[in-house]
């Protein structure tokens, strides 16, 4: 198997990818990156010209962006069953929710967090629409099945649960009961607990971060 290098910081979206890696149960090398000069160094910019983490290098393949990393890894290790097969009816829902969380949901919650104006005057012009539309869409979906694609836990649940947890903690979205139950169900998985323990320990070895 090709070497897999994971570039991350424990106080970042890298925690989402860490959870995915622990669900896969594969061997990987962690390259912890400090914010600032190290992430903007020529060496790392050759990996990700954005100078942001997380990123992975799998053999000669580099993948950046959280949702893309999760999708790539799920397809690279199909025996782990973290993505519905291509021929499965659930594949469409899987792709939908990965891109929904990476696109409309993150944009809408970022707008909420930073006071960007999205209202009835411009909601049609932006991909995310209004924040309440994203929240209501997720609420309706999670009321129907235990996981976002049905009865099977997938990489889409890793992304969705992680982002929901963060936005509720930041008070950008309401702590609806269906969200809390879903987060408890997903975050209680052994791999999620291992990933959090690894990154919590790593955080003690890194420089303090303020955002």
Percent of the chain with pLDDT over 90: 89
**pLDDT tens-place string over residues 44-58:** 999 999 999 999 999
Let me know whether 67 and 113 are in one domain: no
Task: Give the three-class secondary structure for 26.
Answer: coil
Domain, as residue range, for 25: 4-81+192-203
DSSP run (H or E) holding 20: helix 14-24
Name the residue with tokens 């903690």: 169
**Mean pLDDT across the chain, nearest whole number?**
95
Contact 134, 107 (CB under 8 A): no
Rounded-to-integer distance, Cα 52 and Cα 7, Å: 9
Three-class secondary structure of residue 41 per DSSP? coil
pLDDT of amino acid 118 = 87
**pLDDT digits 0-9 by tens, 161-182:** 999 999 999 999 999 999 999 9
DSSP conformational letter for 66: H
Is residue 19 included in any domain, yes or no? yes
The total number of structural domains that make up the chain: 2
Tokens representing residue 45 in the block: 């910019």
Q: What average pLDDT does range 187-202 have in this prediction?
A: 98
Rounded to whole angstroms, the Cα distance separating 128 from 141 reads: 17
Instruction: Examine the domain organization and report whether 95 and 180 are in the same domain.
Output: yes
> What is the per-residue pLDDT across 128-159, written as a single tens digit (0 to 9) for each?
888 899 999 999 999 999 999 999 999 999 99
Residue 201 has pLDDT above 70, yes or no: yes
Q: Do 69 and 122 share a domain, yes or no?
A: no
Q: Is the same domain home to 185 and 197?
A: no
Per-residue confidence band for 211, with pLDDT thresholds at 50, 70 and 90: low
Tell me the per-residue pLDDT of 69-95, one tens digit each, with 9 for 90 and over. Answer: 999 999 999 999 999 999 999 999 999
CA angle 184, 188, 189 (to 5 degrees): 135
What are the angstrom distances between the C-alpha of 140 and each of 25, 116, 157, 163?
Answer: 32, 26, 15, 17
Burial class (CB within 10 angstroms; exposed 0-12, middle 13-18, buried 19+) of 46: exposed
65 and 9 assigned to the same domain: yes
pTM: 0.95
| pLDDT at residue 206, as a whole number | 94
pLDDT of residue 119: 85
In this structure, the answer to whether residues 71 and 94 fall within a common structural domain is: no
pLDDT at residue 91, as a whole number: 97
Nearest-angstrom CA–CA distance, 68 and 38: 23
Taking residue 205's Cβ as centre, other Cβ atoms within 10 Å add up to 8
């Amino acid at each position: 198997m090709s070497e897999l290098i994971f570039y991350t910081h424990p106080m970042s979206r890298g925690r989402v990818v860490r959870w995915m890696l622990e669900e896969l149960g594969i061997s990987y090398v962690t390259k912890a990156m400090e914010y600032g000069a190290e992430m903007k160094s020529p060496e790392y910019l050759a990996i990700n010209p954005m100078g942001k983490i997380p990123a992975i290098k799998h053999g000669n393949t580099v993948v950046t962006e959280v949702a893309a990393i999760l999708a790539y890894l799920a397809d690279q290790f199909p025996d782990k069953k973290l993505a519905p097969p291509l021929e499965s009816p659930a594949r469409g829902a899987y792709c939908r929710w990965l891109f929904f969380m990476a696109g409309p949901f993150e944009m809408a919650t970022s707008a909420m967090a930073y006071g960007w104006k999205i209202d009835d005057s411009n909601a049609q012009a932006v991909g995310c629409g209004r924040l309440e539309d994203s929240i209501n869409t997720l609420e309706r979906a999670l009321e129907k099945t235990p996981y976002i694609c049905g009865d099977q836990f997938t990489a889409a649940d890793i992304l969705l649960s992680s982002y929901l947890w963060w936005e509720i903690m930041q008070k950008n979205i309401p702590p609806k009961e269906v969200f809390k139950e879903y987060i408890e169900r997903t975050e209680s998985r052994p791999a999620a607990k291992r990933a959090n323990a690894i990154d919590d320990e790593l955080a003690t070895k890194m420089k303090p971060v303020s955002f």
